[in-house]
Amino acid sequence: MSDFDALMEFQRSTEALSSVAERLGWDQETVMPRGAVEQRAEEMAAMESVLHERRTDPRIGEWLDNAAGEAEDAEDARMLELIARDYDRQTRIPARLATELARTTSLAQGIWAEARAADDLAAFLPTLSEILMLKREEAAALADGGDAYDALLDDYEPGATAAGISRIFAELRPRLVQLRDDLLGADHPPPKLDGQFPAETQLRLARQCATAFGYDWTRGRLDLAVHPFSSGRWQDSRITTRVVTDDPFNCLYSTIHEVGHSNYELGIDSDYAFTPLGRGVSLGVHESQSRIAENQLGRSRAFTGWLFGRMSEAFDGLSITDTEAFYASVNRVTPGHIRTESDEVQYNLHIMLRFDLERDLIAGRLDVADLEEAWNARFLKDFGVAVDRPSNGVLQDVHWAVGLFGYFPTYALGNVYAGCLNRAMTEALPDLDASLAEGDATPAVEWLRENVHRHGSLIPPVELIERASGDAVTAAPLLDYLETKFSAIYGL
C-alpha cells in the first residue's frame, strides 16, 4: 500500500470514530436518561483519548512526508493539505496543555451555568481568568510568532484573520446601527403573534417546514433538545428543535435553521464521505447555510405566506389574520439583551461586541476584572440600552467558559456569506418566490447544493463563496437586503 493510501485509510477510521463521538453527543442531548451523566463523561473521555492519540500519531507525519509526491489531482492535494494542517495544529499543543484545557473547560461549564443562574459574575471570573491564561498559551503555541487571536480563529474559519473580519465589520456596523435606530423608532411596529400553541402541533408543523426545505428524512430525524443543534454527516445528519408554547416561531425557525446545517452536510459529494473533504469547510460557511434557510428564505414574504396558511389551519385560527401582518410579525425587531433571541438586524451587533472584547482579552489589553464594565459600556453605545444584570450581559453565552475564543465572528461571517449567496441565488432563480409561496424551498436548496454543499471542504471558505456568488465577499449584499426588507416592512 502506498503511503498516501495508508494515510487515507488511517484517516478514514479516525473520521468514523469522530462521527461516533458526535453521535454520542447527540444521544446525550436528546435521548439519554438523566441519570447517566457520569457514565457518559467516562465514555466521552475514552473516545476523546482514542481520537487524540490518533490525531497526534507520529505515523501521520511520516506518511505526509512520503505521500507529498503521490497526490494525483486537486482533491488528493487538498486532502493532504487539510491533514497536514490539522496534524500541525494538534502536535503544536503540548499534551499537558491539552489535558489542562479539557479539564478546566469541562469544569468551567458547570461553574458558568451556576454563576449565570445566580447572576453572580464574581463566582465565574477566577475560572475565566484561568481559561484565558490557558487559551493565550494555546494561541501562542499555535501562532508560532504570528498573531495569537488569528491562530485561534483559524481553527473555526481557516484562512480568516482579525484584520479581514474587522474590515467587514467596519462596513457593517454604521448602517446596522442606523437601521436599528430607525426600526425601533418606527410609529407602527409589527404585531406580536399571541396565543398558546400545543407542542404536538408545533412539531407537526416543524416537520412540514423541514420537508419544505428538502430535508432528507431517510438520512435524518427531528428530536427535542434544550439548545437546538444539528449533528452528523454523510448518511446521518439529525436535527433538533425546542418548543415554547407561546412562541411557535422559536420551534419552526430553529428547525429551519438546523435543516440548513444538515442539508449542507447531507449535500456533500458522497465520494468524500469520511475523507478530509467530507465536512463543511468552516463554521462561517456552515452558518451561512443555516442563516440563508432561516432568514433570507424562511422569513421571506413568499414563504411566510405559505406558513401563515399552514399555521392558521393547524392552530384553528391565529391572533393575526392577514398575510402582510403575519410577515411583519415574523420579522419584528425589538430591544433586548440576549444574542440568541436577537433578530436579523441586531444580531451582528452582538457579535461585533464580543469580537472586539475577546480580541482585547487574548491580546492582554483588557483584564478580566474590567470585562463587565467594557461590555456594558459598549452595549449601551451600540444598543442604546443599559445592561441590568450579568446574565443579560457578559454571562449570557457559554462560549468563553468552554474555551471558544475566535468562534463568535463566524456567526456574523455566516450572515455576510448568506447575503452574498442570496443575491446570486435570487438572480439565478427568478421563480424562487413562486416556489416558496407554495412551501417549496427545494429549488434554493438545490442551487446551494450545486454551488456550495457538494464541494465539502475542497474549496477554502472565501474562494467557495466568491465562486458561488460570482463576486468578492463584502457586507454590501447583506446590508442592501436588510435595508430593503425592513424598510418595506416598517414602511420607512
Binder among 235, 319, 321, 334 for its own copies (CB under 8 A): 235
Q: Closest separation between CB of residue 281 and its own copies, Å?
A: 20
34 contacts its own copies (rule: CB under 8 A) = yes
Length of the chain: 492
In one-letter notation, the amino acid at residue 157 is E
* Cβ contact 416:475 at 8 Å: yes
CB-nearer residue toward its own copies: 38 or 72: 38
Q: Does 58 bind its own copies (CB under 8 A)?
A: no
Q: Which one among 17, 93, 97, 111 touches its own copies, defined by CB under 8 A?
A: 17
Specify the stretch interacting with its own copies by CB under 8 A; choose among 38-46, 116-124, 172-180, 363-371: 38-46
Query: What letters, b where the CB count within 10 A reaches 16 and e where it falls short, cover 217-235?
Result: eebbbbebbeebbbbbbbe
Residues 116, 238, 257, 449: which binds its own copies (CB under 8 A)?
Answer: 238
Task: Using alpha carbons, list the distances in angstroms from residue 466 to 78, 420, 424, 473.
Answer: 18, 8, 10, 6
Q: Does 52 bind its own copies (CB under 8 A)?
A: no
CB 242 within 8 A of CB 228: yes
The answer to whether the beta carbons of residues 382 and 349 sit under 8 Å apart is yes
Q: Residues binding its own copies: what is the number (CB under 8 A)?
A: 38
Least spacing, CB of residue 39 vs its own copies, in Å: 4
* The only residue of 216, 269, 341, 446 in contact with its own copies, by rule CB under 8 A: 216
Q: Is 374 exposed, middle or buried (0-12, 13-18, 19+ CB in 10 A)?
A: middle
175: contact with its own copies by CB under 8 A: no
455 labeled binding residue: no
**Cα gap 78→463, rounded to integer Å:** 14
Q: Is 99 in the site for its own copies (CB under 8 A)?
A: no
Taking CB under 8 A as the criterion, the residue among 99, 167, 170, 217 binding its own copies is 217
Q: Is 484 in the site for its own copies (CB under 8 A)?
A: no
358 annotated as a binding-site residue:
no
The one segment of 11-19, 123-131, 362-370, 484-492 that binds its own copies by CB under 8 A: 11-19
Select the residue interacting with its own copies from 4, 7, 11, 19 (CB under 8 A): 19
Residues known to be catalytic: 258
Nearer to its own copies, 233 or 301 (CB): 233
Q: How far is the CB of 34 from its own copies (least distance, A)?
A: 6
- If you count DSSP H runs as helices and E runs as strands, how many of each does the chain have, helices first? 20, 3
What secondary structure does DSSP assign to 13-57, as a single string?
A: HHHHHHHHHHHHHHHHHHT--GGGHHHHHHHHHHHHHHHHHHHT-
Instruction: Characterize the bridge pairing of strands 230-231 and 238-241.
Output: antiparallel
Q: Is 120 in the site for its own copies (CB under 8 A)?
A: no
237 by DSSP, 3-state: which?
Answer: coil
The least distance separating its own copies from the CB of residue 250, rounded to whole angstroms, comes to 24
Phi, psi of 349 (to 5 degrees): -65, -35
Q: Is 143 helix (H, G, I), strand (E, B) or coil?
A: helix
* CB closer to its own copies out of 23 and 399: 23
Interface pick for its own copies out of 218, 226, 316, 430 (rule CB under 8 A): 218
Q: Which distant-in-sequence residues (6+ apart) come within 8 Å of 168 by Cβ?
A: 412, 413, 416, 473, 474, 475
- Which residue in the set 32, 84, 102, 437 belongs to the binding site for its own copies (CB under 8 A)? 32
What is the per-residue burial (b if ≥16 Cβ within 10 Å, else e) of 122-158?
ebbbebbebbbebbbbbbebbbeeebbbbbbbbbbbb
Stretch that binds its own copies, among 35-43, 279-287, 367-375, 398-406 (CB under 8 A): 35-43
Per DSSP, the three-state class of 158 is coil
Q: Is 95 in the site for its own copies (CB under 8 A)?
A: no
Give me the half-sphere count of Cα atoms (radius 13 Å) on the Cβ side of residue 294: 25
Q: Which residues are annotated binding-site positions for Zn(2+)?
A: 257, 261, 287
Q: Which residues are annotated binding-site positions?
A: 257, 261, 287
Note the residues at the interface with its own copies (CB under 8 A). 12-13, 16-17, 19-20, 23-24, 27, 31-40, 42-43, 45-47, 49-50, 216-221, 234-236, 238, 273-274
